[in-house]
Amino acid sequence: MEIKGLLLAEARLTASILAGALAGEALVRLRITDAVFRPIRNLLSKCRINRHALSAMAVSVASPRLGAAILSSAHREGRITRDDAVFGTLCLAFPAYIKRWLATAPVAVGLAGNLGLLYSIVLITRSACRFILCLLLLLRRGSGEPIAFGLPQDSCHGANCEGHPHGKEVSLIRLTLRSLPMAWGFFALTFFLMPHLEAAVLGTLKGKVSPSALAVVTSALMHSSASLASAQGALSSGALSLKGALLALLAGNCIGTFSRVLRQNMGYWVGIFPPEVLRPLAIWHVGTLLLFEALSMALVGLWWYR
């Protein structure tokens, strides 16, 4: 059954990578971004916001993977720098999360009342703070608008485009097909290893936290609704305090989010980004994720022990 599940997941990953690469390359080559943002090009130049990054963020409300594909294609063609691709991609999670949060927050409140409300507020605040940091890094380290809006379509290909990573025009689809085996291998590795890592973390927590808290953390790895129901049950029975239940929910969310990032986001990025973008992207993504997860846990912990 594990092999069947892996093959199905690999097929979905492959379809997602190829569809994203096709759509991203089409949007960039057709210069749709140029046409959309031409009326506000002066404002973008003053704010040093790259139009491809802004377009990717707008698209990410519907599909963060398509937004990443836009940035990958723009980088392949030399329209944006490596830092634009890295920090632009890091900014894609928050717009998509807002859309999901608007649907999940009422459910959380319905399942767990005040606990669900506090939990939702912490999650959206954590995500917003991370987005602000990534956006500031994009504005500080990104190129802004290095390519003029008025250039002919063929003037920004290959060696004609400053900072192009390959020195010649390349096809995102062709390079994506070459990188698919690496994406398959990475996904398979995380598919089999992450359950063992989760089990090891839960084993470490066993005996150090109450059985009720451990049940909340464990259920969070399956579904957020299950963890909220479990936490509310423990809170109602007096097994956990409000602060303890919130901390248990956050612990489960942190473990589950880290696991999903490695299995889903990284597997997709391996398929569409070249190594010179993938390495700093992975470091910054995991680093900022762990940083803000740790900060949210620490602040709730301080509130608990105050």
pTM beyond cutoff 0.95? no
**Is the dihedral angle over the CA atoms 85, 89, 90, 92 positive or is it negative?**
positive
Position 160 scores a pLDDT of 38
Q: Tell me, yes or no, whether 154 lies in a domain.
A: no
Tokens of 86: 């890295």
CA–CA separation, 273 and 278 (whole Å): 6
Tokens of 245: 């239940």
Q: Which of 127-136, 142-151, 251-260 has the lowest mean pLDDT?
A: 142-151
Q: Tell me, yes or no, whether 150 lies in a domain.
A: no
Tokens of 114: 């005040």
Position 165 scores a pLDDT of 44
Q: What is the pLDDT of residues 91-101, one digit of tens each?
A: 999 988 998 89
Q: Tell me, yes or no, whether 151 lies in a domain.
A: no
CA–CA separation, 12 and 8 (whole Å): 6
Contact 261, 283 (CB under 8 A): no
Q: Tell me, yes or no, whether 164 lies in a domain.
A: no
Report the domain count for the chain.
1
CA–CA separation, 113 and 228 (whole Å): 10
What's the burial of 221, exposed, middle or buried (CB within 10 Å: 0-12/13-18/19+)?
buried
Q: What is the pLDDT of residues 202-227, one digit of tens each?
A: 888 888 888 999 999 999 888 888 89
Regarding predicted confidence, which is higher, 127 or 170? 127
Position 90 scores a pLDDT of 94
Tokens of 176: 């994506």
Domain that holds residue 139: 2-145+187-305
3-state DSSP of the chain: CHHHHHHHHHHHHHHHHHHHHHHHHHHHHCCHHHHHHHHHHHHHHHHCCCHHHHHHHHHHCCCHHHHHHHHHHHHHCCCCCHHHHHHHHHCCHHHHHHHHHHHHHHHHHHHHHHHHHHHHHHHHHHHHHHHHHHHHHHHHHCCCCCCCCCCCHHHHCHHHCCCCCCCCCCCHHHHHHHHHHHHHHHHHHHHHHHHHHHHHHHHHHECCECHHHHHHHHHHCCCHHHHHHHHHHHHHHCCCCHHHHHHHHHHHHHHHHHHHHHHHHHHHHHHHCCHHHHHHHHHHHHHHHHHHHHHHHHHHHHHHHC
Q: Tell me, yes or no, whether 109 lies in a domain.
A: yes
Q: 237-244 long-range contacts, Cβ below 8 Å, gap at least 24?
A: 237/212, 239/210, 239/212, 240/210, 240/212, 240/213, 240/216, 241/304, 242/114, 242/115, 242/118, 243/300, 243/303, 243/304, 244/210, 244/213, 244/304
Q: Tell me, yes or no, whether 231 lies in a domain.
A: yes
Best-predicted range by mean pLDDT (6-20, 70-84, 238-252, 256-270): 238-252
Q: What is the pLDDT of residues 236-262, one digit of tens each?
A: 999 999 989 999 999 999 988 888 888
